[in-house]
Structure 1
């Protein structure tokens, strides 16, 4: 009987110990802090350690970018984010050819415009010879004006080619993102597809959501065909804007860009 009582006591004691340990473990689990990864915000404060306006050498030193340029259009230099696409040599060669044609057309147009000149008015009581000379000068000027118009048309065509080359580049990095540098440092921060603004919008968001969230923050359809709105805070005064590329009623890509910052 004494043995039976001892066995029961041991069982009860063990059960109490288990219950006590269980409660302690549960309490410890409740007390332990839970950590949830907060996605980085894409905004005026920068992205992946890159700040708006940052100098190129400083940006490259962060390790956030690949070191070989992926585009050199219009005097700007573009880099892919770390792990992004390698430079496409065929596209780079095509960009260089387009850029050269534009530069030549621009130089020709400027020269032709200067060559048009002016024809001085006739003096009072002009002679017949003076009238004839002025008529000849006017005829020559008309020919120069025709040449200037031709060079202007060629410049317009070259500008369209340059615009198309930029669109091809932008499309190539629409998913992976890219960073562009001009004379005054970082002038465009094109977001990778996973990036989100503070309000949670980005690639894949609907145009309706874009208008609903940013309609009262200056969102409008810009001349580039993209939806634009000012960046937050002081960056807006410096010329920084969000640009959203919309395709099929959905955001295909977004960037922060300062169009007033020159490439070269």
Structure 2
């Protein structure tokens, strides 16, 4: 198979231009070396060639469809590829060891992701979005939110999205109409419609964690009063598994 990416170019960027091995002198990356970086890159190249590149054209010719029951159907190769990616631990590549991550330098983790994006941009978007979602929650979420949402995403059991755009507003934040009203139990009731949400619904994982931008009461005009809310497809259960179905509904697909 023709290589989807030049390993020589990647090595030049990482080792000769950026001198990424130098970061191993820092405490956070002290357990890493060029050998561990190469191992991650080799693994990524192998998975990209075996599981992502082969169905790139097939996926374009067979777009996801919405079944009569509201679930999403797609070619099985997508799930097989993502299961292999998750099993390799690559979703957690740059995250702290304390949450199950490899604690790789972000530069190396992004270089590893480049193999998958070059091999299959559409399938690689699922972990790409999940990593971004988990990264935000790991940085700003509470310990409970990290346990409930970040850990399952890093394990690949749940995927994540970002819900900004709306039918009437596009990506103009000042014009969004989704509302979040506080409830007596400390939660918020979020009401509205989001559109063009990559990975917005599927059967690839047990759950989907949506990060939803919405306005709160009394927040003022324009972008004032906008907050970010965790809206899972299924509420997390006491055992860490996906529990009761949340009131999140798919109304259509865009290609």
Give TM class, smaller chain: under 0.3
Q: With structure 1 as the length reference, what TM-score do the two structures score?
A: 0.25
Larger RCO, structures 1/2 (Cα 8 Å, 6+ apart):
1
